[in-house]
Amino acid sequence: MQIDLIAVESRRRDPWAAILWVVSLAAISVFFCVLADIVWRGAGQISWSFIVEAPRNAGRAGGIGSIVVSTVLILLVCLATALPLAVGAALFLVEVVSPVHPVSRFVRVSLDTLAAVPSVVFGLFGNAFFCVVLGLGFSILSGGLTLACMILPLLIRTTESSIRSVPQRYRYAAAALGFTKGRTMVRVILPLASPGILVGTLLGLGRAIAETVVLVFTSGYVDRMPSSLLDSGRSLSIHIFDLSMNVPGGEPAAYGTAVMLVCVLLVINGVVLCLAKLWKSRTGLNVATAA
């Protein structure tokens, strides 16, 4: 009788499983259609000269060498600013204050609110504060600092989850050996949580590298090779937007740049999936051992 009831219940769930399969396949189909269109139109543009040469004729000719350098510099400024803040805030939320403490609750609510703010608002804030108030102007530094503000909630949340997943027995062992709380954080907690922190960092990097609106208001449009962080610099996403919208005849170079950007994003997401799987397996092993 029980087996019959399970079979009936299974048949009832079959239509929903079929619907979920259809929805999933539709989403995958859309992804592959977009990917195929980009590769079909832009793969022929990819070459070593396209990667290393500077743009010429408003981007119609030449390559994306200066664009790549500007993008890398913007991302380095972003990560160098956001990562220490994220690690410090996460350690504070996990190791210093209680989850029910009013300060902890206020920080979490602020992070959730900040994560929901549209990117155009971050762009306007970055333009008003970094470009005007601090006098940095349209520069790589302004763009990187604004992106750091945008990805900070994501980094703090993922870092907090990574630190919280470290089994409590390691903290007890460090205390038994006479470690101070600060030394335990640096020598024990952070090394064990580093795979999860790296996953969050790569996720934030993937979001930042594809951002356009924020950098339009902060880093600018200039496509020449930057000589310092105070120079204006054009990212890959802005280069695609400018070639496709403002430059007649720039579509081939725009598609070539899009292929490069999509390849970078696929590599980042692939590394994230591998690291997340490794981190999950190690965390599960540690928890099982602690139990």
Closest CA to 69 of 284, 176, 222, 185: 222
239 contacts 210 by C-beta, under 8 angstroms: no
243 contacts 55 by C-beta, under 8 angstroms: no
* Gap between the terminal Cα atoms of the chain: 38
Rounded to whole angstroms, the Cα distance separating 132 from 142 reads 10
221 contacts 153 by C-beta, under 8 angstroms: no
269 contacts 243 by C-beta, under 8 angstroms: no
199 contacts 272 by C-beta, under 8 angstroms: yes
Rounded to whole angstroms, the Cα distance separating 72 from 78 reads 10
Closest CA to 186 of 88, 64, 78: 88
Give the tokens for residue 177: 């050996």
Rounded to whole angstroms, the Cα distance separating 86 from 155 reads 6
The tens digit of pLDDT for each residue in 89-111 reads 998 888 888 777 888 888 888 88
Closest CA to 257 of 73, 77, 122, 70: 70
Q: What average pLDDT does the segment 140-168 reach?
A: 90
146 contacts 218 by C-beta, under 8 angstroms: yes
Q: What average pLDDT does the segment 164-179 reach?
A: 85
pLDDT at 289 over 60: no
Per-residue pLDDT at 73: 92
pTM listed for this prediction: 0.83
Q: How confident is the model at residue 4 (pLDDT cuts 50, 70, 90)?
A: low
